[in-house]
Amino acid sequence: MLQVSSRTSGLGTENAFVVLKEVNELIAKGEDVINFCIGQPDFHTPRNICDSAIKAIRDGKHGYTPSPGIPELREAIAEYISRTRGIPVKPDWVVVANGAKPFIGFTILSVTDSGKGHEVLYPNPGFPIYSTQTVAQGAVPVPLHLLESKEFSFDVDKLESLITPRTKLLILCSPHNPTGGVLSRADLEKIAEIAMKNDLWVYSDEVYSRMVHDSKFESIASIPGMLERTILCDGASKTYAMTGWRLGYAVNEKLAPYFSTWMTNTTSCPNHMAQWALVEALTGSQEEPDRMMDIFKERRGLIVEGLNEVDGIRCLLPGGAFYAWPNVTELCRMAGAKNSEELRKMLLYEAKIAVLADIHFGSRPPGEGQHIRFSYATSNENIMEGIDRLKDFVRKNRK
């Protein structure tokens, strides 16, 4: 009998898209569902960016490009990263891909060897592709639990205790998906010291870098000694409302040629006309992206205040991104839900509120209770209506 490989049959996924399918099926049946489950800006891509792509198409810029991206875009990215992170970056350190996500796999492929027990430390809860790609590439995922008591930052002592001679890579994400936590400069300095002491590569997922709400964004690559060992990854999706354009980029002097080869081996090159759109995004007016960031901050205050008014919920104020990560342990007890996933289903089918459960982002850290994720990349009206539905749900389901 024909079979697929165990690597493929066991490949994990990003559950946001699984839940989104469930939500869309309800909407197709005429159900009025408020969707807080997908991390996608609800804004249109700014007009100047769209116009740049249209011009590229009309100018005949629609053929293959160099695998790492067009020179104009690599130069724009190098200038942007140098300016925003305070580090010297050269264009040939930059590689562009169809989204930022491919660089998770490219990095693991480039710094670990399959079957040798090489380990990858990753934040838990965290973006699920960190662990699925680690397993798929034949390495060993090691979860590093984020704690509510530390505002979803690392216990640095615990980090060091997890490192073994087989540890090759540490994955960071700040601002963090799904908790909205932000690593401070002091946190990053401690982590950098450990990374250099143990000769680790660090993958720094910075796709929410423009969404630090109360302080300055800090990159671990800017700490002395860390630039050469940091794979800095960012993209167009969140900052410029360009999720469907599929453009991301990574910066590292040593690994850039290897990432370029991986691009040649997979998708040949990034989307040509979209690259010109990103040139405009990075070098053109920032008025519209800045306006979007201000709106996200306003929505943060609205949803966190509302969630904390709901019996059985407590929610920390996230430092960045557009996610709230409330503790719903008490709400589960009150509603008779055995865990956050059962509560998620109750909210979807009874209250018509779509959220994600903590188990969609990894194993539940011991002693951390139950959590769900709200994406507040939606309108103020939807946020207020969602809070009202939550309160009504509690009134109807209180045991």
Query: pTM for this one?
Result: 0.94
Using DSSP, state whether 226 is helix, strand or coil. coil
Give the chain's radius of gyration (CA, Å): 21
Report CA 112 to chain centroid distance, whole Å: 22
pLDDT per residue over 295-342, tens digit each? 999 999 999 999 999 999 999 999 999 999 999 999 999 999 999 999
Percent of the chain, pLDDT > 90? Answer: 86
User: What is residue 314's DSSP assignment?
Assistant: B
pLDDT value for 151: 85
* pLDDT (mean) for 261-271: 96
Among 3.90.1150.10, 3.60.120.10, 3.20.20.70, 3.20.20.140, name the CATH number for the domain at 6-44+288-397: 3.90.1150.10
101 has pLDDT over 80: yes
Task: Determine the Cα–Cα distance for residues 116 and 227; give it in Å rounded to an integer.
Answer: 27
pLDDT per residue over 152-206, tens digit each? 887 788 899 999 999 999 999 999 999 999 999 999 999 999 999 999 999 999 9
Q: Report angle CA 309, 310, 313 to the nearest 5 degrees.
A: 105
Contact present, 67 and 269 (Cβ < 8 Å)? yes
* pLDDT (mean) for 275-292: 97
140 beta partners = 119
Among 3.40.640.10, 1.10.3720.10, 3.40.50.2300, 3.20.20.140, name the CATH number for the domain at 47-283: 3.40.640.10
Contact present, 325 and 331 (Cβ < 8 Å)? no
pLDDT value for 218: 96
Burial level of 391, CB count in 10 A (0-12/13-18/19+)?
A: middle
* pLDDT (mean) for 139-162: 89
Residue 380 pLDDT grade (very low, low, confident, very high; cuts 50, 70, 90)? very high
- Diameter over CA atoms, the chain: 65
pLDDT value for 154: 76
pLDDT per residue over 366-377, tens digit each? 889 999 999 999
Mean residue pLDDT of the chain comes to 94
Q: Which two tokens stand for residue 62?
A: 């629609």
205 beta partners = 173, 233
* pLDDT (mean) for 104-121: 97
pLDDT per residue over 15-39, tens digit each? 777 777 888 888 888 889 999 988 8
Q: Which two tokens stand for residue 218?
A: 């800090």
Residue that has been written with the tokens 């798929």 in this structure: 136
Task: Determine the Cα–Cα distance for residues 392 and 390; give it in Å rounded to an integer.
Answer: 5
On the CB side of 324, CA atoms within 13 Å amount to 28
Task: Determine the Cα–Cα distance for residues 102 and 107; give it in Å rounded to an integer.
Answer: 9
Contact present, 193 and 229 (Cβ < 8 Å)? no
pLDDT per residue over 344-356, tens digit each? 999 999 999 999 9
Q: Report angle CA 101, 362, 265 to the nearest 5 degrees.
A: 25
Contact present, 41 and 377 (Cβ < 8 Å)? yes
pLDDT value for 153: 80
Residue that has been written with the tokens 């946001």 in this structure: 16
Contact present, 77 and 282 (Cβ < 8 Å)? yes
Tell which residue, 305, 313, 301, has the closest CA to residue 371.
313
pLDDT value for 10: 81
143 has pLDDT over 90: yes
pLDDT value for 221: 98
Sheet strands (E) in the chain = 34-35, 94-97, 119-124, 140-147, 153-154, 167-173, 201-205, 230-235, 248-251, 323-324, 353-354, 356-357, 372-375
Please tell me whether the peptide bond between 175 and the residue prior to it is cis, using omega within 30 degrees of 0. yes
Residue 11 pLDDT grade (very low, low, confident, very high; cuts 50, 70, 90)? confident
Residue that has been written with the tokens 């699920």 in this structure: 128
* pLDDT (mean) for 245-252: 97
User: What are the distances in angstroms from CA 51 to CA 45, 48, 277?
Assistant: 10, 5, 8
pLDDT value for 367: 87
Percent of the chain, pLDDT > 70? Answer: 100
Domain assignments of the chain as residue spans, ordered by start: 6-44+288-397, 47-283
